């Protein structure tokens, strides 16, 4: 089968901005963290292009060689497109193929999980899920002119799901679920029509499938049926909530389909990094955990959000923040921004802010710096654990903040570059690297020694405690 549309052109430019990566762990009571860098690979080569997606070496007009973090070739063939799928997964399309099914799935360590045999890959449930175990693999069987028959379509520069244009090529096909942990397909589950946001959701290590009649069936990782669910369904990464018949209450199930608890009032999900739930009664929202236990006595008149045990509630013009005990730790009638990991900047005046975190106030009377959404006081950037100043703002440096908890300072002059822990202010690396690149959720430091370039790749680990 031939494909009439091109795949994505090869991404060669280095992308320096941080992604929305949210590590999956609960915050400690103190709300303190620190960063540890773990070297996971290095190699030396006479110049190489490093992009957000991968190490690539251009070998032709529409071809490149891909390397892993230790300098080994990932494929014997060249590729013509590359895409980072988040969660340490990559997709590459083979350069010498016109078949729509020519994309491979590769892990961050350079292991080929699926060869060049599928059209593209997508995470079930959308980006809100932190699951890293299951991914959808899409396969095209034949072209079609009928939109209602098409599983996906191609344009001049991409493959997509949704509403095609008049000049796009439509494909029938199917999608299968690939188990990354066990490196195999869940053979009993295959879908000719699938909405990646609604049809399949992952709950723990189980797969929840929405059937054509609106009911749901829960399967284990081997595709064995666990249970059927008939009511309206909501999920978190760990539980399933089913409305009782008539909407008079809710039942909550674990990933095996076993009932954890039930309630005669409404239970629902909200935006929560810790998978908390809320119970709604008499116009009030009470926060509970996945066992039905109430976290604190404080009730809210609007649906909260939660990030690493900091709860945010907006009521009219006022936004108020609470800690894990339900105690108010800050409020503002101005703007507020999440800084990640339960840290927030609350506007207190013209270009002034208060920083708060899971344990309460971090720093007062600070200002925002246009150096990657960092904040400073008296000319120095402040740490996110206790507001201690640790890095003086200098016009000779370029600052870049990464969502994984680091701040990179590179110099325009003769100063030494450095990588800093945004929580503690500790300098993590200052050994003369010349440049920094993103590699998925990791960073690459480039060192230069004459004609040779040394590339060191680090995994960024955010750890509980100081």
Q: What are the pLDDT digits (tens) for 226-245? A: 999 988 899 999 999 999 76
Q: Which of 326, 8, 318 is nearest to 157 (CA)?
A: 8
| Averaged pLDDT, 273-281 | 94
- The strands making up 427-429's β-sheet, listed across from edge to edge, are 397-402, 406-411, 418-421, 427-429
Could you tell me if 169 and 156 are in contact, meaning their C-beta atoms sit under 8 angstroms apart?
no
Mean of pLDDT over the chain? 87
**Residue 125 pLDDT:** 79
Distances from the Cα of 124 to the Cα of 198, 268, 333, angstroms: 8, 21, 38
Could you tell me if 206 and 216 are in contact, meaning their C-beta atoms sit under 8 angstroms apart?
no
pLDDT tens-place string over residues 336-364: 999 999 999 999 988 899 999 999 999 99
| Averaged pLDDT, 33-45 | 94
Phi-psi region of 211 (alpha: psi -120 to 50; beta: other; left: phi over 0): beta
Could you tell me if 159 and 119 are in contact, meaning their C-beta atoms sit under 8 angstroms apart?
yes
Instruction: Please say if the pLDDT value at position 389 is more than 90.
Output: yes
| Averaged pLDDT, 174-189 | 95
| Averaged pLDDT, 414-428 | 91
- The strands making up 452-464's β-sheet, listed across from edge to edge, are 33-45, 452-464, 442-449, 435-439
Where in the chain are all domains bearing CATH 2.40.128.630?
205-306
Instruction: Please say if the pLDDT value at position 121 is more than 90.
Output: yes
- 205-306: CATH topology is Lipocalin (2.40.128)
Instruction: Please say if the pLDDT value at position 17 is more than 70.
Output: no
Q: What is the pTM of this model?
A: 0.87
Tell me the torsion sign for CA atoms 176, 178, 179, 185. positive
φ/ψ of 285, rounded to 5, equals -110, 125
**Residue 36 pLDDT:** 97
pLDDT tens-place string over residues 128-140: 556 789 999 999 9
**Residue 142 pLDDT:** 96
| Averaged pLDDT, 382-400 | 91
Instruction: Please say if the pLDDT value at position 25 is more than 90.
Output: no
Tell me the torsion sign for CA atoms 167, 171, 177, 180. negative
pLDDT tens-place string over residues 90-105: 999 999 888 999 999 9
């Amino acid at each position: 089968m031939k494909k009439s549309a091109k795949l994505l052109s090869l991404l060669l430019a280095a992308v320096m901005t941080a992604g929305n990566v949210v590590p999956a762990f609960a915050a400690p009571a103190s709300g303190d963290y620190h960063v540890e860098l773990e070297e996971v690979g290095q190699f030396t080569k006479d110049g190489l292009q490093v992009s957000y997606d991968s190490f690539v070496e251009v070998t032709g007009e529409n071809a490149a060689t891909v390397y892993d973090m230790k300098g080994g070739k990932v494929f014997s063939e060249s590729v013509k497109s590359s895409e980072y799928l988040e969660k340490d997964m990559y997709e590459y399309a083979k350069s010498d193929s016109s078949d729509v099914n020519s994309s491979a799935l590769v892990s961050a360590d350079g292991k080929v999980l699926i060869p060049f045999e599928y059209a593209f890959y997508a995470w079930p449930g959308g980006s809100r899920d932190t699951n890293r175990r299951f991914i959808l693999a899409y396969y095209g069987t034949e072209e079609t002119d009928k939109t209602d028959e098409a599983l996906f379509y191609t344009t001049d520069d991409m493959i997509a799901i949704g509403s095609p244009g008049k000049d796009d090529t439509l494909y029938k096909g199917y999608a299968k679920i690939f188990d990354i942990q066990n490196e195999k397909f869940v053979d009993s589950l295959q879908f000719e029509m699938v909405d990646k946001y609604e049809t399949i959701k992952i709950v723990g290590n189980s797969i929840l499938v929405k059937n054509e009649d609106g009911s749901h069936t829960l399967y284990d990782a081997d595709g064995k049926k666990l249970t059927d669910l008939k009511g309206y369904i909501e999920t978190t990464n760990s539980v399933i909530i089913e409305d009782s018949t008539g909407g008079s209450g809710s039942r909550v199930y674990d990933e095996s389909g076993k009932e954890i608890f039930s309630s005669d009032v409404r239970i629902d999900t909200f935006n929560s990094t810790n998978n908390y739930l809320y119970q709604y009664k008499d116009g009030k929202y009470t926060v509970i955990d996945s066992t039905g236990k109430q976290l604190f006595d404080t009730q809210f008149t609007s649906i909260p959000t939660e990030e690493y045990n900091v709860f945010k509630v907006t009521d009219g013009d006022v936004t108020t923040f609470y800690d894990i005990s339900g105690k108010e730790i800050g409020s503002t009638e101005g703007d507020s921004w999440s800084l990640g990991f339960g840290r927030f900047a609350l506007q207190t005046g013209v270009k002034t802010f208060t920083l708060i975190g899971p344990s309460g106030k971090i720093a007062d009377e600070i200002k925002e710096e246009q150096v990657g959404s960092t904040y400073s006081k008296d000319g120095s950037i402040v740490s996110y654990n206790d507001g201690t100043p640790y890095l003086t703002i200098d016009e000779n440096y370029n600052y870049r903040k990464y969502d994984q908890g680091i701040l990179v300072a590179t110099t325009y002059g003769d100063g030494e570059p450095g990588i800093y822990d945004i929580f503690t202010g500790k300098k993590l690396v200052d050994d003369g690297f010349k440049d920094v690149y993103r590699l998925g959720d990791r960073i690459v430091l480039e060192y230069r020694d004459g004609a040779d370039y040394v590339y060191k790749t680090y995994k960024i680990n955010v750890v509980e405690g100081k």
